[in-house]
Amino acid sequence: MSKYRQSFEDELKLKLQQKATNHMPEDTVLMKSFKYFDLNNSGYVDKYHFFRAVEKIGVIVQGDKQREEIFKFYDLDSMNKIFYQEFISIIFGTKTGTTRNLSPKKVHAL
């Protein structure tokens, strides 16, 4: 795993732990952040909105090289977009409650 990606994932998980509550687990916090930027309910975000969503959680990725490497890893189909349910599954290592039970249209903005 690249040092950029590992650092990104570690910081993201830490920020999600800080924002999560008993009523809103970490995966739901992450889903809502992506949903906030997915105005057409497509289920995916482009590179700009991906980094805006993680910035909303508190993770700032500096540098074009780091951003490019991180985005390319999670852009599973190389279509310049990230399906955020897949991203959430990768981050948590499994299908989470959010990805199993909530479609993107059912989640309200933060």
Question: How does pLDDT run across 72-92, given as a tens digit for each residue?
Answer: 999 999 999 999 999 999 999
Instruction: Please count the structural domains in the chain.
Output: 1
Indicate the pLDDT class of residue 98, thresholds 50, 70 and 90. very low
Please determine, for residue 108, whether its predicted confidence score (pLDDT) is greater than 90. no
Q: Say which CATH number the domain at 31 has.
A: 1.10.238
At residue 16, the pLDDT reads: 97
* Residue written as token pair 């309910």: 41
Q: Is 52 helix (H, G, I), strand (E, B) or coil?
A: helix
Please determine, for residue 1, whether its predicted confidence score (pLDDT) is greater than 70. no
At residue 12, the pLDDT reads: 97
| Domain interval for residue 73 | 3-106
Query: Mean pLDDT, to the nearest integer, of 42-71?
Result: 96
Minimal CA–CA distance to 45: which of 57, 33, 56, 63? 33
Cα 88 to Cα 94: distance, rounded to the nearest angstrom:
8
Q: How far is CA 72 from CA 47, 67, 84, 103, in A?
A: 9, 8, 14, 24
Cα 82 to Cα 80: distance, rounded to the nearest angstrom:
7
Indicate the pLDDT class of residue 95, thresholds 50, 70 and 90. low
